[in-house]
Amino acid sequence: MGGLRNNYISRDQGIMVAVSFLGLMIFCYIAGLPLLIPLLVFFLGVHLFFFKKLNSKIFLPLSLFLVIIISLSYFFKTSLHLSYFYLPIASIPMLAMLLFNDVQVSLMMAFISASMAGLIFGFDLSQMLIFFLGGIAGSYKVRDARTRGVLIEAGIFVSLIQIIGAVMTSPVVNKATLTFIMKTVGLNGLICAFVVIATSKVFETIFREITNFTLLELSDTSQPLLKRMVVEAPGSYHHSLIVSNLSEAAADAIDANSLLVRVGAYYHDIGKMVHPEYFTENQMMIGNKHDELEPSMSRLVIFNHVKEGIELAHKYRLNQRIIDFIPEHHGTSIMHYFYQKALAGQSDGEALDEKDYRYPGPKPQSKETAIVMLADSVEGATRAMDEHTPQRIEDTVRKVINNKFIDGQLDECNLTLREIDLIAATFVRVLSAMYHGRIKYPEKSNANNPKKSSKEDTHPRSTDQ
């Protein structure tokens, strides 16, 4: 699930790129492979970096994929003496799609994988196009896949497309030719599917990326962290569920990664488990602990839930994409309540720096973490309202989001003004449905005892509206 982050390359990364390019050239020269291969890889990297503006970290896994397909092609040809029809070329773009969820990157990997295999095996343009089309078919089929059964379906789809391509490019189509195509090209798609199933978790771990399959596993309420949160901080857990619902709906509205947003919202406040009694949503039977503390001490307790959340996430080995939600959902926002309380108790001549009451950040770096930030703030603000009418909910949502925008919290993510407006409209719709009014049912009269108090009425009232 690669990202559009920085558009610069450090000195160390430049050296790594140069060494990788030189190593590939040496390998191709020794193996007797065309030197056009490293040149093709080089221009692919240039395009991805300067025109696609991808994070430079994505180059290492993509380079490894290309090295794998080159090595496999060379091994098939020289050692195994197997036909190139058994080479799992389509598995490379399928893995790229699963890991980085980027159509352009996946299509480019389909093209360059088929081209490299063609250069090594020496097959013609029509055969290269067959594998290229198979790679495209596989990558589109696994996009947004949430069950591993989709991978088998993708393999069958790759086989079907490659069979059609082989039949259309074959000069003579008879029973023998069709049988050969079915046994080789048709089997190739299933081989690709099994390669992806067997290696996706391995590459996910190596590259520290996260796929939809892992996200679904993390969303299971039987996960140890979520089970702990239910017991130790039930109010924070319920808050996280509401934030996840808001965030997922908003992510769908702007075509962001809704599954990542939902799971990130589940874990964004796990640090509150360490001292749950200091957070309002968990203060059910006790008073406000902060009434007994100075604002400076309250500030430290609230600050620490971010640090403690990150430590818990590392302890339970959560992926970095999930950990990012913990500090970024606060950004560098100010803790207004404690800052105002500190100002009110400030003595004459005492200096008070606003920065001391701001979270350490960083600000949201992606659309997904920005959505959770807005949902978290909006949920807290609407929960504190006395009256939940649709108009008041909308006014509150717009005010909260506008304040975040003015405060510069959305400066480092790539949300557009149109997307921010869609997010606000989605929040209003979901919260209005959540706090919808209920019909007040009349008290049931009691003919035998008309003076009987309504409190003594043991008949349950309907709550289906």
Q: What are the pLDDT digits (tens) for 387-406?
A: 889 999 999 999 999 999 99
Distance CA 28, CA 20 (A): 12
Distance CA 121, CA 131 (A): 13
Question: pLDDT confidence of 9, banded at 50, 70, 90?
Answer: low
The CA-CA-CA angle for residues 46, 201, 205, to 5°, reads 65
Mean pLDDT for all residues in the chain: 84
Question: pLDDT confidence of 25, banded at 50, 70, 90?
Answer: confident
User: Minimal CA–CA distance to 381: which of 368, 367, 362, 394?
Assistant: 394
Q: What pLDDT does 384 receive? A: 86
**Cβ contacts of 219-224, under 8 Å, gap ≥ 24:** 219/259, 219/262, 219/263, 219/266, 224/316
User: Minimal CA–CA distance to 264: which of 376, 104, 103, 168?
Assistant: 376
- Specify whether the CB–CB gap between 142 and 148 falls below 8 A: no
Q: Which of 24-28, 235-239, 318-322, 352-356 has the lowest mean pLDDT?
A: 24-28
User: Minimal CA–CA distance to 265: which of 412, 376, 354?
Assistant: 376
Average pLDDT over residues 427-446: 77
Question: Which residues, in sequence order, are CB contacts of 202 under 8 Å at separation 6+?
Answer: none
324's tokens: 């990012």
What share of the chain in percent tops pLDDT 90?
47
Q: What pLDDT does 449 receive? A: 54
User: Minimal CA–CA distance to 245: which of 400, 426, 408?
Assistant: 426
Question: pLDDT confidence of 231, banded at 50, 70, 90?
Answer: very high
Distance CA 17, CA 45 (A): 9
Q: What pLDDT does 450 receive? A: 52
Distance CA 277, CA 284 (A): 9
Q: What pLDDT does 63 receive? A: 79
Question: Which residues, in sequence order, are CB contacts of 219 under 8 Å at separation 6+?
Answer: 259, 262, 263, 266
Average pLDDT over residues 299-325: 93
Sign of CA dihedral 19, 20, 22, 26: positive
User: Minimal CA–CA distance to 188: which of 158, 226, 145?
Assistant: 158
CA 194 to chain centre: 25
Question: pLDDT confidence of 465, banded at 50, 70, 90?
Answer: very low
238's tokens: 């319920």
Residue 355 has pLDDT above 90, yes or no: no
SS3 category, 186: helix
Q: What pLDDT does 13 receive? A: 57
User: Minimal CA–CA distance to 376: which of 271, 260, 263, 241?
Assistant: 241
Residue 435 has pLDDT above 80, yes or no: yes
258's tokens: 């809704």
SS3 category, 413: coil
Residue 53 has pLDDT above 90, yes or no: no
